[in-house]
């Protein structure tokens, strides 16, 4: 078994006032696409989703971790992504160079006023127990552990840092779209998310 358990915290400054920054990140259907290594595999409802973490480790081992989550908004200051417990789990599977399992994904984003900018505290956790790929079962434990360390120590950081960079880079385009449609959110308005659309390539499912 390959046990994956990692978390990352990052604090960053976003170039917009808090209500606008919150409305941007509350558009779950859009911002999910900014997460490296993660795609949307299925929707159970507008705020109930199945995510898929995917990566290739040690050059040849294909890793897939499915995680069912529910998103929620809190007082215009916190965004939660929490595990969803009432959905059927993915059966663990392993091949010569692959491993698939159900896992747990959580994140929390807290928004703090900074004048015409916003400080965002972002926390992400990923946990899963993966079956050992058949091609690794005769390998030393250090080699098997290398996959867990790669995901825990490198991939999760890539997800968080890539998400921050991509989302900041995409913000001007989102803002232009709203201005063109005269739909900028006002203070105290409730953000409206785009309907999430599954975007995982067929070969990953």
Question: Which tokens in the block code for residue 23?
Answer: 């409305």
State residue 188's pLDDT score: 59
Percent of the chain with pLDDT over 90: 66
Average pLDDT over residues 76-98: 94
DSSP-based three-state secondary structure for 86: coil
Q: Write down the pLDDT at residue 187.
A: 61
- Mean residue pLDDT of the chain comes to 90
pTM as predicted: 0.91
The size of the chain, in residues, is: 205
Sign of the dihedral through C-alpha 110, 112, 117, 121: negative
CA 80 distance to own-chain centroid: 11
Residue 61 CA to residue 59 CA, distance in Å, equals 6
Q: How far is CA 89 from the centre of its chain?
A: 18
| 143 pLDDT above the threshold of 90 | no
Does residue 189 have a pLDDT over 80?
no
Query: In this structure, are strands 78-83 and 48-57 parallel, antiparallel, or unpaired?
Result: unpaired
Residue with tokens 């790669």: 150
Do 46 and 53 meet the contact criterion of CB atoms below 8 Å apart? no
b/e per residue, 5-34, with b = 16+ CB within 10 A?
A: ebebeeeeebebbbbbbbbbbbebbbbbbb
pLDDT at 66: 98
Give 186's pLDDT tier (boundaries 50, 70, 90): low
Round to whole Å and give the CA distance between 205 and 92: 14
> Tell me, what's the pLDDT at 146?
79
- Reference 79, options 3, 21, 37; nearest CA is 21
The pLDDT score that the predictor gives to residue 185 is: 67
Helices (H), 5-134: 18-25, 28-31
Q: Residue 148: pLDDT band by 50, 70, 90 thresholds? A: confident
């Amino acid at each position: 078994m390959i046990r994956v358990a990692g978390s990352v915290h990052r604090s960053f400054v976003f170039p917009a006032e808090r209500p606008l920054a919150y409305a941007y990140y509350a558009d779950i259907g859009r911002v999910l696409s900014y997460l490296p290594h993660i795609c949307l595999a299925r929707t159970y409802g507008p705020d109930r989703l199945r995510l898929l973490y995917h990566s290739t480790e040690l050059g040849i081992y294909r890793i897939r971790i499915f995680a069912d989550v529910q998103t929620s908004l809190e007082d215009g200051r916190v965004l939660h992504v929490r595990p969803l417990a009432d959905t059927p789990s993915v059966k663990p599977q392993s091949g010569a160079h692959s491993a698939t399992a159900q896992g747990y994904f959580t994140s929390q984003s807290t928004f703090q006023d900074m004048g015409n900018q916003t400080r965002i505290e972002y926390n992400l956790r990923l946990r899963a127990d993966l079956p050992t790929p058949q091609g690794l079962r005769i390998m030393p434990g250090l080699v098997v552990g290398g996959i867990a360390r790669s995901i825990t120590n490198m991939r999760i950081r890539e997800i968080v840092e890539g998400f921050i960079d991509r989302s900041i880079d995409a913000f001007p385009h989102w803002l232009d779209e709203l201005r063109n449609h005269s739909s900028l959110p006002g203070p105290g308005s409730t953000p409206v998310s785009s309907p999430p659309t599954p975007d995982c390539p067929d070969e990953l499912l």
